[in-house]
Amino acid sequence: MNDLNLRFRELRKESGRSQAEMAKILGCSQQTYSRYELHTTEIPLKSLIFLAEFYHTSTDYLLGITQQKNAYPK
């Protein structure tokens, strides 16, 4: 799983938010959120789904599985 191209940092910067702000939104520490971005700690599935909805994208895009940024239709 280390070969994933995580896009958390890219989307966070595009939204103009800091790691501390995102950590507060997710209910974790800034240090934990930083580890999610660096992929030294696996992000919980619940948080991954939340971020996909928050950024209006898919979990596949967040994980770098697809280049399609738009969320899948419900």
Digit-coded pLDDT (tens) for 15-65:
999 999 999 999 999 999 999 999 899 999 999 999 999 999 999 999 988
Range of the domain at 45: 8-62
**Cα–Cα separations (whole angstroms), residue 61 to 21, 24, 42:** 21, 23, 16
User: Residue written as tokens 């958390």?
Assistant: 8
State the pLDDT at residue 3. Answer: 54
Residue 46 domain-assigned (yes or no): yes
Residue 74 domain-assigned (yes or no): no
Q: Is 68 helix (H, G, I), strand (E, B) or coil?
A: coil
Q: Residue 66: which pLDDT band, with cuts at 50, 70 and 90?
A: confident
Q: Is the pLDDT of residue 2 over 80?
A: no
- What is the DSSP-derived secondary structure letter of residue 38? H
Residue 39 domain-assigned (yes or no): yes
Q: What is the pTM of this model?
A: 0.85
Residue 71 domain-assigned (yes or no): no
